[in-house]
Structure formats: C-alpha cells, structure tokens
Amino acid sequence: MSRKPFVAGNWKMHNTLADARALMKDIRGQYDPESGVDVAVCTPFTLLYPMGRELDGMTIMLGAQNVHFESKGAFTGEISPEMLVHAGCKYVIIGHSERRHVFGETDELIAKKVIAAQKVGLSVIFCVGETLDERESGRTDEIVTGQIGRAIIADLDASLLTIAYEPVWAIGTGKTASPEIAQEVHAVIRRKIGEIFDPAVAGAMRIQYGGSVKPGNAADLMACEDVDGALIGGACLAARDFVSIISAVAGSCA
C-alpha cells in the first residue's frame, strides 16, 4: 500500500508575525514543492490568518494546534472549528501530549474535538503516545491503543485522519525512539485502526512519528515500513532543518 508521506511542523507557542514571515520566506527558498511529500505548518492561532494568506498558492498547507468542540458561544479563550476553516486551515492537531499532560485534556474532551473538527472538513492529526513510566512498565501498546479506541470511532471519516505516534519521553527531549521501537508501535497502531475501520482503511492511513525528529535521524525513522512522515516540533523552527527533514522523508518513505 503506498501512502503519500506527510510532514507537519508544530510551531507550538513560537514566532511573531515578523518571525513567521521570515521563516516562511526561508522555507520557500529551500523547499522543493515537487518532493512528493505533503507538508503543513501548524502555527499559533494569532498567525493562522496571515499565514493562510502567505501560503496561498503554495503547496504547504496550514494547520492549527488546538480547537474547541463547540461552533460558537460563551467559551472565553477558545477557537471553534469553523473559525479555523475561515482562517485557511486544512489541518488541526488534536490530543498532543502537551494538551493532555500540561492542560489536562481528557480522552472524552479529545473525542469531542475530533468529531467537531471533522464535521467542518478539517483533517485531524491525532496524537498518541506513552510516558516513560508507561513504557518502562510495558504498557505502551495498551496506552496507545486505548487513546485511539476512546476517540477514534468507525463513524469518523478516515480520509480526514492522520495518526501521530509521539512517545511523550521523546518530545522536546532530544531522545528519539529507535526505528525498531517506532516501527513496532506504528504496526500496533495500524492494527488498531484496522479493527476500528477495516484493514484497507488501515493500510491507507498515514501514521507520523514525532519526538525529537532531526535532520540526522529522520531518514532511518522514515525508512520503517509503517512510518509515513513526521510531526516535528523544535526542528521545524529552522528552515534548513525543516526542509532537510522533508527531503529525508521524500527519500526514505517514497
């Protein structure tokens, strides 16, 4: 089954408008739009609208890092799925470990967000991953399949879904999962997706790896059979690193 690789940069809470424009200019200068890789940048809310305009006509797509499940109302500080679409978003990250662990998002809340996002046509990058304790106690498979099982239901549109396996112990730590670990967990995730939908859907679904992906380790990770791209934090803030990871993905996943 051939799946088009997908690289998304998660800018987290970084970049002013001036920084963002400079970064996009550098990315544009170095990036090969014919690389055969889908590419998205997930910016802070304040940058979505101007970045949507900046990316207009480019093959790089826009994503957000969070969303609320209601379409409007008295939800101070929140942003609705419709607002993201109007700002030009195609993607939204849901279930990122920082949302789960720093902001206390529950599986129940995350499940509502996934449904609400898809309802307006947003593609969801759904993050799962185990903590170090969970890995060391041999619970990785149970944790990631549980996170998927409590939010991903057969009624969802699988074509609007990417799974990102992001071991919590690898995010922003400089510790990357070995290709063997990544492949093992990605295969578990694909089997779980097959149980929820069916094997053909699972075979077509893209599963990204995320957690300290850098230009130096991207090719080995991306060479794994079930790894279809990357969700990148720190390294996506430097154009040269981001583009070089995209090239590694193009060379290894294709």
Can you give the binding site for ligand PEP, defined by CB under 6 A? 10, 166, 171-172, 210-213, 231-235
Q: Which is nearer to ligand PEP, 63 or 210 (CB)?
A: 210
Q: Which is nearer to ligand PEP, 66 or 212 (CB)?
A: 212
Whole-number minimum distance, CB 147 to ligand PEP, in Å?
A: 15
* Lookup: tokens for 77: 């500080």
Q: Check: CB of residue 105 under 8 Å from CB of residue 98.
A: no
Q: Which is nearer to ligand PEP, 197 or 226 (CB)?
A: 226
Whole-number minimum distance, CB 93 to ligand PEP, in Å?
A: 8
Q: Which is nearer to ligand PEP, 197 or 211 (CB)?
A: 211
Asked if 136 is an active-site residue, the reply is: no
Residue nearest to ligand PEP (CB): 233
Whole-number minimum distance, CB 195 to ligand PEP, in Å?
A: 26
The H or E element containing residue 124 is strand 123-128
Write the DSSP string, 42-101. Answer: E--HHHHHHHHHHHTTSSEEEEES---SSSSSS-TT---HHHHHHHT-SEEEES-HHHHH
Whole-number minimum distance, CB 233 to ligand PEP, in Å?
A: 2
Write the DSSP string, 18-49. Answer: HHHHHHHHHHHHH--TTSS-EEEEE--HHHHH
d(C-alpha 43, C-alpha 53), whole Å: 13
Q: Please identify which of the residues 68, 96, 130, 186 carries the catalytic annotation.
A: 96
* Lookup: tokens for 81: 């799925």
CB count within 10 Å of CB 189 equals 23
Q: Which is nearer to ligand PEP, 125 or 197 (CB)?
A: 125
* Residue 237: DSSP 8-state: G
Whole-number minimum distance, CB 210 to ligand PEP, in Å?
A: 4
Cα dihedral 41→43→48→50 (10° resolution) = -80
Asked if 14 is an active-site residue, the reply is: no
Q: Please identify which of the residues 54, 98, 130, 166 carries the catalytic annotation.
A: 166
Catalytically annotated residues: 96, 166
